Amino acid sequence: MAEQKHFPFEMKELEDEEKAAFFKAYRTSTVDHRFDFVSVGPKKYKQLRRYCEEAANIYNMPVRNSDVFVVTYQRAGTTWTQELVWLLANDLDYATAKAKVLTERFPYTELFTFFDKKWEEDFLKNSEDKQMALKLIENIATPITGKLALMPSPRFVKTHLPLSLLPPSLLDTSKVVYVARDPRDVAVSSYHLARLFKIMDFPGTFKDYWNLFVKDLVNLSPFFPHIKEAWDVRHHPNMLFLFYEELIKDLPAAVLRVADFLGKELTEEQLARLCDHLSFENFRKNESVNYQSLREFGLLTPDENFIRKGKAGGWRDYFDEEMTQQAEQWIADNLRDTDLRFPHMDN
């Protein structure tokens, strides 16, 4: 029997009141049983139960000097940043970027946690093309640490895990691009994501989702400890800490910062073309990044899109006065012990 790798954090069941709040919000959902969270470590990071199978392997996976990790809390501009990083690191190879979907170019460490064995069985049983179904299961429902070990360098890795749950040697070995975003916009975008993927099937209103978000009862929460871990090491030479709002406000300047971090230089013409490629008008239509192929398999709802509006401050269209005041107090309370501040965007 193989020796079990060490994982230093305890994984606990949620408290009864937490479970009750969660299942109340999912009361009309047909998939609430799949969203079975555990609480990880002293900061009580919420992870789907399948994460437990792979937690030690992720924590202990060997990292390389040539690796580039994009680390974010979900819906903070992750996909946008991945495409930017990959193109810069691969000398603006637009042909390969178009031909090969981002999930293959930039594997996602915990994607498999959303798809339990029951989902795999049902999906395979209900699929007419069994070979295609098996290929999709291999791509999205299988842990990737084994695949990563076989991948040639340089490797590009996406994760929503906080730094504390990633290999301890990561920052001293590999480059890390961390992107942070105003939590109110993150909550809105996460709500739409939970409605986009049928595997999530969130049945409630945005206010229902927000009440879970501020109580740290959504996947990946709590929000602030995740960002503070990265903020505290933002001056490490292998860390580039970006705000999503900075990319929105001045994309060319942000692109040049990332290029400098990766040791790349761009001509004015190359910069202009890359910014055009990354414009949200074009990004939404880019089939290698927008997950539209999953619609063919019936995994997405028809009235939501993975790439949404690409703006900052859109939360104002969703928050009533009570929620606005609640959010302001929640943010103030969580920023009291840090000099982290989110850029203010004028709309």
| Residue 82: other Cβ atoms inside 10 A | 24
Two tokens at 144? 């990737």
Cα–Cα distance, 104 to 133 (Å, whole number): 17
Mean pLDDT, residues 182-191: 93
Alpha helices in 127-200 (DSSP H): 130-140, 145-150, 170-173, 183-196
pLDDT computed for residue 111 by the predictor:
87
- 230: exposed, middle or buried (C-beta count within 10 Å: 0-12, 13-18, 19+)? buried
Cα–Cα distance, 104 to 99 (Å, whole number): 11
Is residue 342 situated within a structural domain?
A: no
Mean pLDDT, residues 2-23: 83
Domain range holding 272? 11-335
Q: How many domains does the chain have?
A: 1
Q: Give this prediction's pTM.
A: 0.91
Considering only 6-10, 83-87, 340-344, which range has the smallest mean pLDDT?
340-344
How confident is residue 90, by pLDDT bands cut at 50, 70 and 90?
very high
How confident is residue 203, by pLDDT bands cut at 50, 70 and 90?
confident
Is residue 6 situated within a structural domain?
A: no
Is residue 347 situated within a structural domain?
A: no
Is residue 2 situated within a structural domain?
A: no
Query: Which residue spans within the chain are E strands per DSSP?
Result: 11-13, 37-40, 45-48, 68-72, 156-159, 175-180, 239-243
Q: Break the chain down into helix, strand, coil percent, rounded to 5.
A: 50, 10, 40
DSSP 106-117: S-BTTGGGG--H
Is residue 64 situated within a structural domain?
A: yes
Is residue 341 situated within a structural domain?
A: no
Residue 240's SS3 state is strand
How confident is residue 131, by pLDDT bands cut at 50, 70 and 90?
confident
Is residue 120 situated within a structural domain?
A: yes
Task: Give the CATH number for residue 52.
Answer: 3.40.50.300
Radius of gyration of the chain from Cα atoms?
A: 20
| Residue 164: other Cβ atoms inside 10 A | 17
Is residue 160 situated within a structural domain?
A: yes
* First-to-last C-alpha distance (Å) of the chain: 59
Residues of the chain above pLDDT 70, percent? 87
